[in-house]
Amino acid sequence: MSEQKKIESTDLLPIQENGKTYWRSLEHIAQTEEFQEFVHREFPAGASELTDPVTRRSFLVTSLGAGFALAVQPVMAQTAIRTDDAGLLAGEVKVPVKDGEMVAYRALPKGAVRPPVVLVVSEIFGAHEHIQDICRRLAKLGYCAIAPELFARQGDPRQFSNVQDILTKITGKTPDAQVMSDLDATVAWAASKGADTDRLAITGFCWGGRITWLYCAHNPQVKAGVAWYGRLVGEVNEITPRHPINIAADLKAPVLGLYGGLDTGIPLETVEKMEMALKDGSKAARLSQIHVYDNAPHAFHADYRPSFRKEEAEDGWKRMQAWFKKIDKA
């Protein structure tokens, strides 16, 4: 039994006055020590439902579960890769963030001592089975791979049956500033668990590809980033105040961009503009590279979807591994 005082104490019982029984007023209850402790515990200073869109009570996703997002089903079972967790410490973890705890998927080799860290940023579908599998693949390579559920406050994209609803109700309401803060918290958590965040990399897919570019301009700890078909331009607003094209000059870590020449959502002209911006950017920007697979569509690495292209996906994975070796040389 918790030793915390309960609100249902004798201070809240009816009172007798002039031979009559009265329930205590809300004003009287509000002055009791028990109620004051309750308010302090449940609504800590700085957490306001009215003035702060992010509060300790606003996490809608507290567990990842298993399986793929509804919007991508039926899954292409004949190509979907399933990586086992033999030899790994893999599963859900809770990452402390400024307003509560954020669920994440973490995988690393059992017994690893100060393994390098790779942040894995999901597509619009959240940290579902495909992203968890990517974490296990990276763990098999010796990394501590962590995929935070960055949509935890806005909702669970895995439960939506169509992409448009995810775009309008989840990703369209997830501020870049919140994402940067959550990734910072994930790095801090990894360090607290013994991982080597001096050897820090990040990779992301689709929505996460865009975030990869942004985070490599945000956090000077990052040594390398790999962005898989992340959008480079877009509408500027309070949710997305800057895009990769705007931050090329600020890159603090070199990024390898992997794009599809047949991607209808990311025109090649925007890729070419990004290449030009990188040439005029920071040292890390000038060290960045973009590789275009001429015959690949969007999401060519997503082995559970019809867009999967085995040859390009495997080549991209090899390029990513080579790129991540920069974390040992930086």
The one catalytic residue among 99, 156, 263, 303: 263
Strands (E) across the chain are located at: 15-17, 20-22, 88-97, 100-109, 116-121, 144-148, 196-205, 222-228, 255-260, 289-293
Helix (H, G, I), strand (E, B) or coil at 63: coil
Structure tokens at 225: 């980033």
The one catalytic residue among 130, 218, 298, 301: 298
Instruction: Please report which helix (H) or strand (E) contains residue 166, including its range.
Output: helix 163-169
Helix (H, G, I), strand (E, B) or coil at 197: strand
The one catalytic residue among 144, 206, 218, 301: 206
Q: Is the peptide bond before 109 cis (omega within 30 degrees of 0)?
A: no
Dihedral of alpha carbons 43, 48, 49, 50, sign: positive
Give CA torsion, residues 102, 300, 223, 234, to 10 deg: -70
Contact (Cβ atoms closer than 8 angstroms) between residue 57 and residue 47: yes
Could you confirm whether 298 is annotated as catalytic?
yes
The rounded distance, in Å, linking the Cα atoms of 153 and 164 is: 19
Contact (Cβ atoms closer than 8 angstroms) between residue 291 and residue 259: yes
The rounded distance, in Å, linking the Cα atoms of 114 and 286 is: 30
Could you confirm whether 263 is annotated as catalytic?
yes
Q: Please name the residue that has the structure tokens 């809300």.
A: 26
Edge-to-edge strand list for the sheet holding 196-205: 88-97, 100-109, 144-148, 116-121, 196-205, 222-228, 255-260, 289-293
Length of the chain: 330
The catalytic residues are 206, 263, 298
